[in-house]
Amino acid sequence: MEKNKRLILVSGMSGAGKSTASRILEDMGYRVIDNFPVQLLSLLVDMIETSNDPRYSYIALATSAQDFPYFLRAVKGQNIEAQVLFMDASDSVLLHRYKSTRRLHPLLITNTVNTLEEAIAVERQMFTRSMDNSFITIDTSFLSEKEFRRRIEQHFSKSAVPTFSISFVSFGYKYGVPMDADLMIDVRFLPNPFWVVSLRPYSGNDKEVYDYVMDKPETQEFLKRLLAFTDYALEQYAAEGKNHFTVAIGCTGGQHRSVTITNFLYDHYRTKYNCYKEHRDEKEWIKG
């Protein structure tokens, strides 16, 4: 495929945001095709590869769990560099979304399963056989639509040059873990500023908390060992051709230690890689 052409396979768990992702990509100028017949895939791939029609320069193919393996094989079997956008969410969130909207899961519509819980479990198992660490996975369990749009634009902007990028995400274990993390780091063993009354209202975005966490000998020893690992591992992932890597850093509430370490890692790597950071559970507390 020519360098100015791009093909994205959009798939993922039903209810995780595939339709929203398709709409965002369409707003970004992609030609979005949903439920394209599997039998005609070879014709479409050939058209994308050979056509000079600008309408086929930026294509997004949205596909279900049943058809996803066929789409994946079709694009991998041709001279095409395609990316996969995989939408995911926790089982409990998917269950809540379906019950809230009263929509029927696709596997229930086709009588493949008997209950919604079974439908979610079976669909997840269907995807497990095809998952690859090169996929760009977005966990929408806690995302606002604004943040959802920002992430898709971050990865698939038509003006962006595909390159290795890293997202550093802080979170609180009490609110659940990010499902799209490639590497999860638990920093709950570090001294906790929450137990210092004067620091409790602040977060790792504030100098008082940042300095408290960073100045501890436990933190300094931990970071020395962590960086020895991440410096090497990230270089290897970049050399392997992986497009994006998500590092999730968790503490109990996602306010102090995880935010501090996330800020440190972002500052440490942003001059070497294309980096992003997000504090998923950091709250704007009233200070003083």
CB neighbour list of residue 238: distance below 8 Å, 6 or more residues apart: 164, 273
Predicted structure pTM score = 0.63
Amino acid letter, 120: I
Task: State the pLDDT at residue 288.
Answer: 39
* Residues 48 and 144 placed together within one structural domain of the fold: yes
- Say if 247 falls within a structural domain: yes
Position 162 scores a pLDDT of 55
Residues 218 and 271 placed together within one structural domain of the fold: yes
Q: How far apart are CA 74 and CA 63, in angstroms?
A: 13
DSSP string, 86-120: EEE--HHHHHHHHHHHTPPPHHHHTTS-SSHHHHH
Whether residue 85 is found in the same domain as residue 189: no
Whether residues 153 and 187 share a domain: the answer is no
Torsion of CA 217, 219, 220, 225, to 10 degrees: 130
List pLDDT tens digits, range 47-103: 887 877 777 788 899 999 989 998 888 877 556 667 899 999 999 999 999 988 888
- Tokens 């992932």 belong to 237
- Domain span including residue 74: 6-89+135-162
Q: Where are the alpha helices (DSSP H) in 135-247?
A: 145-156, 207-214, 217-240
49 and 157 assigned to the same domain: yes
287 is a domain residue: no
Are 81 and 49 in the same domain? yes
Same domain, 151 and 232: no
- Which of 48, 258, 89 has its CA nearest to residue 174? 258
Same domain, 141 and 213: no
**121 in a domain, yes or no?**
no
Q: Is residue 69 included in any domain, yes or no? A: yes
Query: Buried b vs exposed e over 212-242: b needs ≥16 C-beta within 10 Å?
Result: bbbeeeebeebbeebeeebeeebeebbeeeb
Query: What's the structural domain count of the chain?
Result: 2
Domain assignment present for 44: yes
Is residue 262, in this structure, part of any structural domain at all?
yes
Q: Give kind and range of the element (H or E) at residue 69.
A: helix 68-76
Q: Does 187 share its domain with 268?
A: yes
SS3 label, residue 181: coil
* Dist CA 19 CA 10 (whole Å): 9
> Do residues 154 and 16 both lie within one domain?
yes
Phi/psi at 18 (nearest 5 deg)?
-60, -40
Residue 153 lies in a domain: yes
Are 175 and 259 within one domain? yes
Q: Bridge partners of 184? A: 248
| Residue 4: predicted pLDDT | 59
DSSP state of 279: E
Distance separating alpha carbons of residues 199 and 206, to the nearest angstrom: 9
The whole-number pLDDT of residue 269 equals 94
Residues 71 and 150 in one domain: yes
**Residue spans of the chain under pLDDT 50:** 1-3, 285-288
Task: Calculate the alpha carbon distances from 179 to 44, 95, 138, 140 in Å.
Answer: 33, 16, 8, 9
CATH number assigned to the domain comprising residue 40: 3.40.50
The reply to whether 115 falls in a domain is no
Residue 34 pairs in a beta bridge with 62
Residue 192 corresponds to which tokens in the numbers above? 């906790």
